[in-house]
Structure 1
Amino acid sequence: MNDAYFFGYGSLVNRQTHLHAPNFPARLKGWRRVWKSTVLREVAFLSAEPWEGAVMEGLVAHVPGGDWAALDLRERAYGRHDVSALCEHEAGPVRVEVYAVAPEHAAGPDVAHPVLLSYVDTVVQGFAEVFGAAGALRFFETTAGWPPEVVDDRAAPAYPRATPVSAEERDFVDAGLRRLGVEQVAASVRA
């Protein structure tokens, strides 16, 4: 199937983390972005969940040849859901799937499953590139489940697809976290 697309809502919005093209800004109705942890990973990651009235911004990107194997491997903690009828984008009439942590594997972020600052940096950088500063602010405002603190791993990023960020980008993320009341704590964590 050559019309296979995925809806990315976290680090997949950052085009530096993948080579999937073409890709287009998109909006997914009836789903929201939320921080989740899973027994399959040591740190919390973004997930999606159905949520009445919600609209989530992201990116739809082509899955070359409809071959999901590499993307499924990257997103191994998630299951795929067909959201074609709920997704607005300019890719034309294509099938769109979204990855979400399966409920039986999910738990809220906690001390054992922290959120990594390098991951937040990478995601926000992608939202700023695709949706501008206003879109990056909406990322903070529309993401549920923010923990009281995130692990500052910027000096040695534990997130495997961390992208280099400028001082201005770091300041933007820091301000967004402060507005949410999320503190940054130093710790040694491995993703």
Structure 2
Amino acid sequence: MLDPYFFGYGSLVNAATHTYRSTHPAQLNGWRRVWRHTSLRDQAFLSVTPAEGAQIDGLIAEVPNSDWQVLDLRETGYFRSNLDATQLKHSAGAVDVQMYQTQPELQATPDVRHPILLSYLDVVVQGFLEVFGEDGAERFFETTDGWDTPVLNDRSNPRYPRSQILTTSQTALVDAKLAHIGAQIITPR
């Protein structure tokens, strides 16, 4: 039996944040990304919501020996479910794919007390740039809801545990996209 895969649509697209090496770019139909807050975390993070006619880019990666324990721990605050193979396009062949999303009973709309961490967003966008190029980063912003959530500029002292160093051009692209969508940038206290 083949090992299962996960579909990552946020920070898991950035292979520098995990050790899963058998990866493939993928597209998931019928879903959009959304910024969410749950009672389990102090900041906003990405989830997904069904959306007829929508499509999001992401990355699938093999979970060797079906060992979900480490990934489930990393994805605390999410639940894992099987994806319908007809919704997913990728080059890995006939494999089972699961996806994480926030627990509905714990989710709320993010706010100033629960902002998007810029260090987290940087990691996500860096992953999309590396896997899908600038067009993919553009699609990430276009296919994600909740940009009215404040963004906490924590770049100088990252709060995101898997933060990465961006190139000057990657940083400029993130900043330009945030300016274009009119994101509210707040500074840490």
The equivalent residue for 2:80 is 80
**CA–CA distance in structure 1, aligned partners of residues 65 and 41 of structure 2:** 29
The percentage of counterpart residues that share the same residue type is 53
AA in 2 matched with 1:70: V
Superposed CA RMSD: 1.1
Number of the residue aligned with 1:181: 182
Q: Show the counterpart of 2:71.
A: 71
Which amino acid is 2:145 matched to? A
- Following the alignment from structure 2 to structure 1, what is the Cα–Cα distance between the partners of residues 49 and 68? 21
TM-score when normalising by structure 1: 0.95
Counterpart of 2:15, as a letter, is R
Look up the match of 2:27.
27
Unpaired segments ≥5 residues, structure 1: none
TM-score (norm 2): 0.96
- C-alpha distance in 1, partners of 2:147/2:3? 34
Deviations 1:102-148 (A, max 9, x none): 11011011122110001111000000000001100111111011135
Q: Distance in 2 between matches of 1:183 and 1:44?
A: 14
Q: Structure 1 segments of 4 or more deviating over 3 A?
A: none
Alpha-carbon distance in structure 2 between the residues aligned to 1:84 and 1:158: 34
Deviation at 1:84, TM superposition (A): 3.7
Pairs aligned (count):
188
Distance 1:148 1:41 in 2: 15
**Corresponding position of 1:130:** 131
Alignment of 1:71-150 (within 5 A): 71-85=71-85, 86-150=87-151
User: Any idea what SS the aligned residue of 1:6 has?
Assistant: strand
Letter in 1 for 2:153: D
Match of 1:60 in 2: 60
